[in-house]
Amino acid sequence: MEKKLIPEHLKLATLDSQGLTQNTPFGSGKNAVLTALEHLGYIQIDTLSMVERAHHHTLWVRIPDFQADYLEKLVEERKVFEYWFHAASYLPIQDFRYVLPQMLTIKRGGSRYYNADPKVMEYVTDTIRNEGPKRARDFENESHKTGSWWNWKPAKLALERLFMQGDLMISGRSGMQKTYDLAERVLPSFINTTEPTPLEFAEYLVKTNLRAYGFTTLKQITHLRTGNDLKNNVNKVLQTMLEEGLISQGKIEGFSSVFVRNDVLDKTFDLKDSNIRLLSPFDNAIIHRDRIRQIFGFDFRLECYTPKEKRQYGYFCLPILFGDQFIGRVDCKAHRKEKKLELIHLHIENHTLDVELWLNPFIETVKRFAVFNNCESLILTKISPSKLSIPVKKELSGLKFKK
């Protein structure tokens, strides 16, 4: 029997499950990064750098004392690894076996996206086995040797294919520069490397979604994954959990069937946190655009891939979460040489909200965000609606501070 679900309760439930209702939901320091990853399931990696990159930004929002080298250290300690979730991601090493189906599919030739010359793959593998970990640029240098019969591009393709099929793993990073090593030298010996059955894989996806979001749908569980077999197995897992009384099924406007953890349904939320949070466009909390639109009434999309003349809000907007509401977005750029964070265009979309309620928390958050981006001053270039220009610019523009 389907239960009547209250959107306001689900809104708080998903923010709470995402670690966005408390200041330090996962603790502090390096251990908090691992705890957050194990809870959320993954953190998306992205190369865009208008502000601090997405994987650091997403963790900083939840871990106030986050430092970029925490992730690098966890990779070196073999507690975290990189692979493809729905995009390039950091994942907890405990979940390694659940990427094996994709690795083995690619290894068996089941993907047309990772073509590489077998001879170059053999050369790259032998070089790393004999000489140790390598970066792509190491092979770029090799390609300039007299008599070389390969060049950098085939070597790069070989590295990517060997990584995607699991023969190589990323053993470390320097910024966005990856270092590859043999998987057998990176993966801890205690890790389960048994390929999960299709039903086990479906169970992993279901439980990861329910843990990280509090409620979910079939569409969200299978996000960017295809195949009727997977959908059928996900449905089997959901039915089993319904029978065991772990979850309930219900409907809310705009969604097909929604599945909710029963402990979430029974939980009372007392949101006293009125902080502002500036989220990355790739934050786990907003990756499902339908969820955010239907539950929060916030229609978000990243416009950096949209032609300039068709952009509505800006190139790289960050959603602004105030308590349990998305009140707008801000297009940002960190001018690193000048150590200045520019708020190119601040859009406040909740026009009924008194500016005095959100302005001071917003100022405190953007100051912290500027420091996070190694900036020492802030400038606000434009704000909408224009009637907010005087009070907001008075508080923000030219504001200087030290780290």
CATH of domain 3-96+192-265: 1.10.10.10
Q: Which helix (H) or strand (E) holds 328?
A: strand 325-335
- Number of other CB atoms surrounding residue 226 within 10 Å: 8
Contact 334, 50 (CB under 8 A): yes
What integer is the mean pLDDT of 258-265? 93
This model's pTM is above 0.85 = yes
CATH code of the domain occupying 276-396: 3.40.630
d(CA 326, CA 298): 6
Q: Residue 249 and residue 403: Cα distance in Å, rounded?
A: 48
Banded pLDDT at 143 (limits 50, 70, 90): very low
| pLDDT tier for residue 392 given thresholds of 50, 70 and 90 | confident
Q: In this predicted structure, what is the pLDDT of residue 147?
A: 45
Lowest mean pLDDT, pick from 162-166, 330-334, 396-400: 396-400
pLDDT at 300: 96
**Segment among 56-70, 199-213, 351-365 with least mean pLDDT:** 351-365
Residue 351 reports pLDDT greater than 60: yes
pLDDT digits (tens, 9 = 90+) for 202-249: 999 999 999 999 999 999 999 888 889 999 999 999 999 999 999 999
177: its two tokens: 């520069």
| pLDDT confidence tier of residue 397, bands split at 50, 70 and 90 | low
CB 264 within 8 A of CB 17: yes
* pLDDT at site 398: 61
Q: Specify the DSSP element, H or E, that contains 258.
A: strand 258-261
Instruction: Give start-end residues of each CATH 1.10.10.10 domain in the chain.
Output: 3-96+192-265
Domain(s) of CATH 3.40.630: residues in the chain: 276-396
- Whole-number average pLDDT of the chain: 91
Least confident of 70-74, 107-111, 188-192: 107-111
C-alpha to C-alpha distances, 268 to 2, 8, 314, nearest whole angstrom: 21, 12, 38
Q: In this predicted structure, what is the pLDDT of residue 151?
A: 54
Q: How far apart are the C-alpha atoms of 359 and 345, rounded to whole Å? A: 15
Average pLDDT over residues 99-103: 96
Least-confidence region, from 3-7, 18-22, 165-169: 3-7
Calculate mean pLDDT across residues 75-89.
94
pLDDT value, residue 141? 58
Residue 401 has pLDDT above 70, yes or no: no
> For residues 210 and 218, is the Cβ–Cβ distance under 8 A?
no
- According to DSSP, the residues that pair with 82 across neighbouring strands are 90
Beta strands in 141-222 (DSSP E): 168-174, 177-182, 215-216
* Helix-strand-coil split of the chain, %, nearest 5: 45, 20, 35
Q: What is the 3-state secondary structure (H, E, C) of 232-277?
A: HHHHHHHHHHHHCCCEEEEECCCCCCEEEEHHHHCCCCCCCCCCEE
User: pLDDT digit string (tens) for 292-346?
Assistant: 998 999 999 999 999 999 999 999 999 999 999 999 999 999 999 999 999 999 9
Contact 171, 179 (CB under 8 A): yes
| Residue whose pair of structure tokens reads 């953890």 in the numeric block | 261
